[in-house]
Amino acid sequence: MAAQKSPKEDPVKEVKSIAKNIIDGLFDNLMEKNVLNGEELNRLAKRVNVIVNTTENLVEDITEKTQKTGKIFMDFFLNHKKQLSLKSHSESDDDDASEKNSESSSEEEDENQDSEPEENAASAQALALPSTVPLILQEADNELKLCPPDHFQQMKRKKANQIYSVMEKEGRTRLALIICNKEFDHLTTRAGAEIDIMSMQYLLENLGYLVVVKQNLTAQEMEIELKQFAARPEHKSSDSTFLVFMSHGILDGICGKSYSSQQRDILKDDTIFQIFNNRNCQNLKDKPKVIIMQACRGEGTGFVWMADMGADSASSLQTTQHPIQSDAITKTHVEKDFIAFKASTPHNISLRCETNGSLFISRLVSYFKKYSCYCHLEKVFRKVQHSFETPAEWTQMPTIERVTLTRYFYLFPGN
């Protein structure tokens, strides 16, 4: 005789039970880490209890309930910021990344077509997980999104003359270099720099690069490492490279570990570009060379106060005109296929938090994970810039510089 089936559980009770277990665990963690005290916990519990006890219509209005829950959590944390112990530095924190997907009407038509899958995916994601849900509940969605193989093959066929060639995984030997200076002889320690290393290394490895990490170098040692990296034979069977620099910095360049007011231990931008140009690094000829720089470029805050209808106060910058030399008539350009993305504009600071790493690297990694599956590199960079568009108490504006890319560079993660 078949065993008698137990009566079917009330789905509303099941939902309540699941919600209660999740909330209990969350509150325990908040109490253990001294984020909430008893009085605050009771006040928050009353709010959450309203939601848990009104789940009868959950199936019909799940989106509304999710948003309501998120708003309560966000209101609570924002109204009790002083209970949180986050210590920031002169490369500070506050990674408040509310994603904005509006695109410029000047985008090329083919780019708009490419972005359709991305926009559809973003819309679906927005329905499933409202932006008001606390960050701790969104971590599961923070993995690198892979490019579908059929889209990869379609792009290779349709845009062969518009995009940089992507080598097949079999036999491909992509390399990336991270140079991070955290400890200095005369400057302050860059607390949180290890978070940036882990984030960038994890991202680049998932994009198919073997990552070389070097730390705490003088400018001369950085130059030696760059030359050795440029000479590696693996570049011949690679289709691109990433060079990531994280350090203190000034307008003239990246600070080496021995920098002081008396000793100008600086790695200049020109040195990097010269080492990897087509004259000195032929194995990377016609291949994208992406330079990421996380460093201050001065001590300015990067914003000014202006009246809404005020006169234009921006200064006019003169573009340096270099004389044409013999390089211009050779069969290949000396400097080509570069792009540099820097954490801030000239003369201004970059922000870093000792617990979360730098704001620029954190947001850059996040946007690569979300958008590199369908967007080319410059488009991802523009999205990062757009996220910094509205100045906060501390602000910075990442800057795309020295671009000589002649095609679109797609990473096609997973392919």
* End-to-end Cα, the chain, rounded Å: 54
Enumerate residues 6+ apart whose C-beta is below 8 A from 317.
Answer: none
Measured CA to CA, the distance from residue 296 to residue 256 in angstroms comes to 13
| 270 closest CA partner among 177, 216, 215, 340 | 340
Distant-in-sequence contacts of 138-141, Cβ < 8 A, 24+ apart = none
Enumerate residues 6+ apart whose C-beta is below 8 A from 279.
Answer: 334
The strand pairing partners of 53, in sequence order, are none
Measured CA to CA, the distance from residue 253 to residue 105 in angstroms comes to 35
Residues recorded for the chain: 415
| 41 closest CA partner among 52, 51, 29, 53 | 29
Asked if 167 and 288 touch (Cβ cutoff 8 Å), the reply is no
Residue 165 phi, psi dihedral angles, 5° rounding: -65, 135
Enumerate residues 6+ apart whose C-beta is below 8 A from 135.
Answer: none
Residue 188 phi, psi dihedral angles, 5° rounding: -70, 150
346 token code pair: 């000239």
Q: Is 180 a catalytic residue?
A: no
Measured CA to CA, the distance from residue 131 to residue 24 in angstroms comes to 23
| Marked catalytic residue, from 248, 281, 375, 376 | 248
| Marked catalytic residue, from 296, 353, 373, 375 | 296
Neighbours of 313 (CB within 10 A): 8
Q: Is 248 a catalytic residue?
A: yes
Q: Which residues are catalytic?
A: 248, 296
